[in-house]
């Protein structure tokens, strides 16, 4: 079974302020996305930046008749949301933006505005009947959450993507970090619900665009008890933390492929897959881009997301993991 995550970059139908300008550009974008997904051939793919629900249905239609779609009902100010494409039927078990009750609202701008929930929905589904030959158990469903945490690309009042001065840049960087940390905390709470304290017996995955790298504090929030990460001496030593841990598969991605986006010429792995104890022990391979094709070939992006409006394909590479029976 191949499980993946991919930020589809501004998946809108044409005519709006963020998507392709015409049907021809829209067709090129869909064709480029569909070609990658067809080659990747995932059993389940978490997706981000779905700006128009009908556009994801258009994409699924290009893949064939045997695909199922689930989308969060919670979109951000641009209308983008997370979702899934799946070979097997999906049951939505959670779709939330709520911070944990103990976590207070966080500051979002210079005016003192605070936010009390994630900017985009955290969507979780259950897959009970996997595709033939995927090694899944009909008695133990696969539970997967998908997210798109607050971006590191900063925006400022009046639609600006450049700050008036370095003080403003620093403040808005802090506001974005506050929000991303709070959203990661909410995502960890959702993961706890999916794990139910039994990750040694439950198949649980958390995936999506975390908008930060493996060692970032916000990414580390999701792991649970420390000390057993892949590549550490504790990885092969069972302990009580295994019931609630999640393992980021990033160290299993070959070093020469370990990025999913290029920002101002700098390669970054900001899209992640985290697995429960039961799942991570069945991983046979992990990567970015397409299996067998080497390092992902990505454009370098700058601070203004509008620069790539209507561009075919995506500015992210898919991240994937193959799980055996």
Contact by Cβ (8 Å): 316, 5: no
CA distances from 296 to 58, 88, 292, 315 (A): 25, 28, 11, 10
Query: Per-10-residue mean pLDDT for the chain, 325 residues long?
Result: 97 91 95 97 98 96 92 96 97 98 97 97 89 51 97 91 96 97 98 96 97 97 95 93 97 96 96 97 97 90 82 95 92
Predicted structure pTM score = 0.95
Is the CB of residue 114 less than 8 Å from the CB of residue 73? no
Domain range holding 73?
2-323
Q: Any idea what the CATH number is for the domain that residue 310 is in?
A: 3.60.10.10
Q: Which DSSP string corresponds to 45-77? A: EEEEEE--HHHHHHHHHHH-SS-EEEE-S---T
What confidence score (pLDDT) does residue 132 get?
40
CB 31 within 8 A of CB 62: yes
* Residues paired with residue 288 on neighbouring β-strands, in sequence order: 319
Q: What are the Cα distances from residue 152, in Å, to 31, 170, 254, 258?
A: 29, 12, 25, 19
Please state the domain count of the chain: 1
Determine whether 166 is exposed, middle or buried from the number of CB atoms within 10 Å of its CB (0-12, 13-18, 19+). exposed
């Amino acid at each position: 079974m191949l499980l993946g995550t991919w930020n589809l970059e501004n998946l809108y139908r044409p005519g709006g302020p963020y998507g392709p300008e015409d049907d021809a550009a829209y067709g090129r974008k869909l064709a480029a996305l569909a070609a990658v997904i067809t080659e990747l051939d995932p059993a389940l793919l978490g997706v981000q930046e779905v700006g128009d629900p009908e556009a994801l249905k258009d994409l699924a239609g290009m893949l064939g008749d045997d695909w199922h779609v689930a989308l969060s009902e919670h979109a951000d100010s641009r209308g983008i949301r997370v979702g899934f494409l799946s070979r097997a039927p999906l049951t939505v078990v959670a779709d939330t933006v709520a911070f944990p009750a103990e976590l207070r609202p966080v500051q979002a701008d210079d005016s003192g505005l605070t936010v009390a929930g994630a900017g985009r929905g955290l969507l979780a589904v259950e897959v009970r009947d996997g595709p033939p030959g995927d090694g899944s158990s009909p008695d133990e469903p696969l539970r997967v959450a998908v997210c798109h945490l607050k971006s590191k690309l900063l925006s400022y009042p009046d639609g600006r993507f450049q700050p008036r001065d370095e003080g403003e840049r620093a403040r808005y960087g802090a506001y974005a970090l506050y929000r991303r940390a709070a959203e990661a905390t909410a995502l960890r709470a959702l993961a706890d619900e999916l794990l139910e304290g039994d990750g040694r017996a439950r198949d649980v995955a958390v995936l999506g665009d975390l908008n930060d790298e493996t060692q970032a504090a916000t990414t580390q929030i999701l792991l649970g008890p420390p000390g057993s990460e892949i590549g550490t001496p504790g990885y092969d030593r069972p302990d009580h933390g295994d019931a609630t841990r999640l393992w980021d598969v990033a160290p299993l991605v070959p070093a020469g492929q370990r990025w999913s986006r290029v920002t101002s010429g700098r390669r970054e792995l900001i899209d992640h897959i985290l697995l429960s104890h039961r799942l991570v022990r069945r991983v046979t391979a992990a990567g970015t881009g397409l299996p067998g094709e080497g390092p992902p070939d990505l454009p370098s992006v700058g601070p203004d997301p509008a620069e790539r409006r209507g561009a075919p394909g995506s500015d992210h590479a898919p991240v994937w993991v193959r799980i055996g029976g």
